[in-house]
Amino acid sequence: MKRAIALSLATLFSTSVWSADLLQVYRDALANDARFAAARAQYEAGQERVVQGRAGLLPTIGANANTTWNDVDTHTRAFGTREYNSNGYGVQLTQPLFRWQNWIQYKQGELQTALAEVQLGQARHDLILRVSQAYFDVLNAQDALAAQSQLKKAASEQLELGKASFEVGTVTITDVHEAQSRFDLASAQEIAAQNDLDVRRQTLVQIVGKDPSPLAGLRPGLSLTRPQPDNIAEWATAAEQGSYAVQAQQLAREIAAREVERNRAGHYPTLDVVAARSHNSAGFSSSAAGGSTRTDANTVGLQLNVPIFAGGAVSSREREAAALKLKADADLDDARRTAALAARQAYLGVTSGMAQVKALEAAQVSSTSALEANRLGYEVGVRINIDVLNAQSQLADTQRQLARARYDTILAQLRLKAAAGTLGEEDVQLIDALLAE
């Protein structure tokens, strides 16, 4: 399902040979993005869940020691006052033989570790989409600023031409005022475009951790291709099965099902092997007698515990877990529907984006021809200044829409792959190969 994304972009300005490309920016984001760093730490924490679950199946060993000063006053003929120090130490090993809840907890640990891996993959998808969105937002803002600067320059030239024509009497003062108005408006719009570019660039800096400018733009002369497979239903089915969000919810549902079983096991008896070794000694002096004692003991046995009644807590936790299992079932169904919807939206975004790009490319040709015709008409006196300025604005607006449509189509391609769970660094490399060097 992974195919090269062929795209087309007629750039409005040249790109420096030293520009940062999308792949480089993405790799910088892998190392510096705070959100992905948090996801990576969460993944590392999740790897410990299986270790913790396994611990419930392995033996536990504990040691203890004590020392006590005793002052005993016994009112009998044989004994009077005894003062002595008693010491002891011991080691105990407990090996579970049957603790069903511990076995279920171990299986839950395996599932939770797998869930951590899925969540890390989902975070990587999110990073690719966030980096690509921010990258192309900067490029689009650069295109808009370049187009606005060209419009301002054209308005300035038209203003100077209008003033010269007014001096010789070929145009009225109204034409001069209209040209001045368009120049002032273009100047204000250029300032706004520059501000938008600064904001977009700072958004990218937040993700990457540094300013990667200048950025490489897309090479001209590329054509768009339809998604493969070219079937919206197949993409929706793939998303229902392969989306990371669906995978995560499937694991969450399985963990919830195991939680029901684990709480039910609270009604079951437990059986352990218990082995212990202990040493105790006491030495004393007394008004009647003196002496010391020493005891060493080794024991091995089976310990059976049978729960009878715990105030209804076990049954309550079992009902709670069963309700949460139903919630997990509903969440999984919602995740599948959401993934299918995202795939359909992304697929339509690609196909409609291709059609929009084609239409805007034709509109750009038409707008260019209209501008040239209006300029010629102005020179021969059949068009007025406002006609030329309107044609210039129309061309600039068409160029901005065309650039935005191309970038949106690229992002729709990436979102389609993400919805199906197949987005990876190789897709970034495919787009990166389309950037100007």
Sequence spans of domains, the chain: 22-57+99-268+312-436, 61-97+270-305
Question: Across all residues in the chain, what is the average pLDDT?
Answer: 87
The yes-or-no verdict on residue 222 having pLDDT over 90 is no
Token code pair at residue 172: 């009225």
Measured CA to CA, the distance from residue 186 to residue 389 in angstroms comes to 11
CATH class label, 22-57+99-268+312-436: mainly alpha
pLDDT score of 433: 81
Q: Which pairing describes strands 291-305 and 60-73: parallel, antiparallel, or unpaired?
A: unpaired
Between 5-9, 30-34, 255-259, 352-356, the lowest mean confidence (pLDDT) is in 5-9
- Whether 14 shows a pLDDT value over 70: the answer reads no
Local confidence band at 80 (pLDDT 50, 70, 90 cut-offs): low
Contact 216, 437 (CB under 8 A): yes
State the pLDDT at residue 7. 33
CATH 1.10.10 fits 61-97+270-305, yes or no: no
Confidence at residue 17, expressed as pLDDT on a 0 to 100 scale: 40
Residue 99 DSSP SS3: coil
The pLDDT, as a whole number, for residue 19 is: 66
Least Cα distance to 207 among 54, 13, 29 occurs for: 29
- Please enumerate, as own/partner, the contacts of 351-359 that have beta carbons within 8 Å and a separation of 24 or more: 351/226, 351/227, 353/224, 353/405, 353/406, 353/408, 353/409, 353/412, 354/224, 354/226, 354/409, 356/405, 356/409, 357/8, 357/224, 357/402, 357/405, 357/406, 357/409
pLDDT of residue 4 exceeding 60 = no
pLDDT digits (tens, 9 = 90+) for 311-329: 999 999 999 999 999 999 9
Q: Measured at the alpha carbon of residue 40, what is the angle toward residues 35 and 43, in degrees to the nearest 5?
A: 130
Mean pLDDT of the 226-246 span: 93
Q: Residue 9 pLDDT more than 80?
A: no
- Total residue count of the chain as it appears in this document: 437
Residues 6+ away with beta carbon under 8 Å from 125: 244, 418, 421, 423
Confidence check: pLDDT of 310 > 50: yes
Query: Fold match between 22-57+99-268+312-436 and 61-97+270-305?
Result: no
How do residues 371-428 score in pLDDT, each as one tens digit?
888 888 877 777 766 777 778 888 888 888 888 898 999 999 999 999 999 999 999 9
pTM as predicted: 0.83
Classify residue 63 by burial, with Cβ atoms within 10 Å: 0-12, 13-18, 19+: exposed
